[in-house]
Structure 1
Amino acid sequence: MESLQEYGNLDIDWTMAPEAAVTMYLEWGNNAWRAEHRPVTSKADSSTYFVVYAWEDTPRLLLIRRNSESAEELLDIELPHDIGERFMDSVSHLKGVYPPSDEVREWVQAQLSGRD
Structure 2
Amino acid sequence: MSSLKDFSQLNIDWNLSPEHAVTMYLEWGNNDWHAEHPPVRSKDDFAHYFVVDTWGESPIIRLVRRNSENAVELISVPLPDSLKANYVKEYGNLRGVFEPTQEIKAWIKSEMGH
Tell me if TM exceeds 0.5: yes
Secondary structure of the equivalent of 2:106?
Answer: helix
Written as runs of structure 1 = structure 2, the 5 A alignment for 1:7-46 is 7-33=7-33, 35-46=35-46
Residue 81 of structure 1 is matched in structure 2 by 81
Measured in 2, the distance between the counterparts of 1:75 and 1:29 equals: 29
Corresponding position of 1:3? 3
**What's 1:91 paired with?**
91
Following superposition, the deviation at residue 96 of structure 1 comes to 1.3
CA 1:94/1:34 → structure 2, altered by over 3 Å: closer, same or farther? farther
Q: CA deviation at 1:35?
A: 3.5
Q: How many residues align?
A: 114
Any idea what SS the aligned residue of 1:77 has?
A: strand
After superposition, give the CA deviation of every residue in 1:15-57 in whole Å (9 maximum; x if it has no partner).
1000000111012444125642021001110010000001122
Quote the Cα distance in structure 1 between the aligned partners of 2:30 and 2:94.
30
Q: 1:29 to 1:78 in 2, by over 3 A?
A: farther
Scaled by the length of structure 1, the TM-score of the pair is: 0.90
Identical amino acids, percent of aligned pairs: 46
Structure 1 counterpart SS, 2:61: strand
Instruction: Output the amino acid matched with 2:54.
Output: A
- Following TM superposition, the consecutive aligned residue runs of length 4 or more in structure 1 with deviations greater than 4 angstroms are none
Where structure 2 has 5 or more consecutive residues not aligned to the other structure, the ranges are none
Q: Which residue of 1 aligns with 2:58?
A: 58
Question: Are the equivalent residues in 2 in contact too, given 1:32–1:39 (CA < 8 A)?
Answer: yes
SS at match of 2:111: helix
TM-align CA RMSD: 1.6
2:59 and 2:29 map into 1 onto residues whose CA distance is 28
Q: Which amino acid aligns with 1:37?
A: H
